[in-house]
Amino acid sequence: MQITEGSAAVPANVVVDGVKGTRRKARFIVEVRYEIAPRFFDIRGNIIATTHQAIKDQFPHWQSDQGAVLFGESAQDPVNQFHIGSDRIAFRIEDAESVPVWASDADRYLGLALDVLGKEIRTVSRLGVRFIGVHVGRRTATFEQYAQSVRERFHKLPPDIDVDYVDSMAHLVHKNGQYRVGPVRRGEQWLRAAFRRPDAGTPGVGLGIDVDCCAFEIRHKMHADVLRAFRHVLELTLTTEEALVRQAGLLDD
């Protein structure tokens, strides 16, 4: 993905979510990675003092260790997290109100982090946007039907293997990320690994879709460079997710 200076991107607060009707459970993540910023260790107190004042309504608690300051909605094992560290910034929200609301918040939180770290970051080595979700179709389906749909729509099976398939997952890697698609049912290990609250709002069965898109080597002359890259990668993530949902037949009448 080539992101040039001044290239246009859809503002975060007007993004279009084409699959909000199928998504029943979700975790949205944006992560910005960079070389270790040595001065981070000297300015942790300032990060806490200035940033927490602006976000304490959403993230009333914070904790600090040697490499990062973590803000959360609870003091112990927070579900939602805003991470400012010596080598990365991350904003992770589970079951957000909507994609546009999350994207607008992510824009703001990235801006806050860059305000306190900006001069320390010359180049963003990787900026990624990851959507992990459980989707259901317009028609009621069983786990076996979701599994069959993945086999038929995402795989080309060898004809001479006489076996009874019981599960399936498609995993493809591309230049700007990767995605996984597979049937899922409540209680599976995949849900426990993907979500902090794996049972909250999760349907009994559905299609698990994990889309992780990214851009590399983004020059940081001003905050707008990073925020513009975020919006471009967000667009790619959304487009990929919608294409996978459509390919799986979940938007069929």
User: Average pLDDT for residues 159-176, to the nearest whole number?
Assistant: 92
Q: Is residue 103 part of a domain?
A: yes
The tens digit of pLDDT for each residue in 77-109 reads 999 999 999 999 999 999 999 999 999 999 999
Q: Is residue 13 part of a domain?
A: no
Q: Is residue 12 part of a domain?
A: no
Of 55, 58, 51, 108, nearest in space to 84 by CA: 51
Alpha helices in the chain (DSSP H): 40-55, 99-117, 143-154, 189-194, 223-247
Three-state secondary structure along 161-223?
Answer: CCCCCCCCCEEEEECCEEEEEEEEECCCHHHHHHCCCCCCCCCCEEEEEEEEEEEEEEECCCH
Task: Indicate the DSSP class of residue 135.
Answer: E
Q: Is residue 67 part of a domain?
A: yes
Q: Is residue 161 part of a domain?
A: yes
Per the model's pLDDT, the better-predicted residue between 142 and 167 turns out to be: 142
Helices 223-247/99-117 angle, 10° precision: 150
The tens digit of pLDDT for each residue in 196-233 reads 999 999 999 999 999 999 999 999 989 999 999 999 99
To which H or E segment does residue 132 belong? strand 123-135
| Integer Cα distance of 92 and 6 in angstroms | 27
Structural domains of the chain, count? 1
Q: Is residue 1 part of a domain?
A: no
Q: To the nearest whole number, what is the mean pLDDT of the chain?
A: 92
Q: Is residue 216 part of a domain?
A: yes
* SS3 category, 33: strand
| Integer Cα distance of 95 and 107 in angstroms | 18
Q: Is residue 130 part of a domain?
A: yes
Question: The domain containing residue 143 runs over which residues?
Answer: 18-247
Label the pairing between strands 81-85 and 88-94: antiparallel
φ and ψ at residue 116, rounded to 5 degrees: -95, -20
What's the burial of 174, exposed, middle or buried (CB within 10 Å: 0-12/13-18/19+)? exposed
Asked if pLDDT for residue 4 goes beyond 60, the answer is no
* SS3 category, 53: helix
User: Average pLDDT for residues 159-177, to the nearest whole number?
Assistant: 92
Label the pairing between strands 61-64 and 68-72: antiparallel
Q: Binning pLDDT at 50, 70 and 90, where does residue 160 land?
A: confident
Predicted local confidence at residue 82, as pLDDT = 98
